[in-house]
Structure formats: structure tokens, C-alpha cells
Amino acid sequence: MIVKAANWDSMNDVKAAFSNATVLNGERARFEIAGGKFRLIVAFKFGRSKIAFVKFVGTHAEYDAVDALTVSQF
């Protein structure tokens, strides 16, 4: 619900909402989920559309095997 209600315009806004997120670049961030057992990569489209695209969900080992800046699992 946090993301659905958000009105983010930049990665700074995402980081302010989720201080533990790791900003990867101007559109992607990495999140630790399920108590740190998994990693989630999300690509954000800011501006008018304000969309969050899930790009990857996997274990730390699976994450280590992908390029976080280009992966598009879904």
C-alpha cells in the first residue's frame, strides 16, 4: 500500500520512504525482503505515470548471478 499511495518524483523520495533500500541508479533500487532472505529489484518510472516495475526477486545467490542494472525477470 505504501507504493500505491506514494507520489514519488525521484529516487530520493524512494530512499526517504525506504531508508534501507539501495539505489542502483536513477531508476532502479534494491530491497531486502522476507527478513533479508531475498532481494527485490524495482525499476521506477517517475513523471506522470509513476509506475514501479518488479524486475527481479530471488535469493542472494541468484542476485549475485544477474546484472542488477539490466535484469528483467518479469
| Structure confidence by residue, pLDDT tens digits, 14-73 | 999 999 999 999 999 999 999 999 999 999 999 888 999 999 999 999 999 999 999 998
Backbone angles phi, psi at 11, to 5 degrees: -65, -25
pLDDT at 3 (0 to 100): 86
Rounded-to-integer distance, Cα 53 and Cα 1, Å: 15
The model's pTM = 0.92
Rounded CA gap, 32 and 47, in Å?
Answer: 26
> What is the pLDDT at residue 74?
79
Give residue limits of the domains in the chain: 2-64
- Residue 24's pLDDT is 98
Question: Is the confidence at residue 1, as pLDDT, over 80?
Answer: no
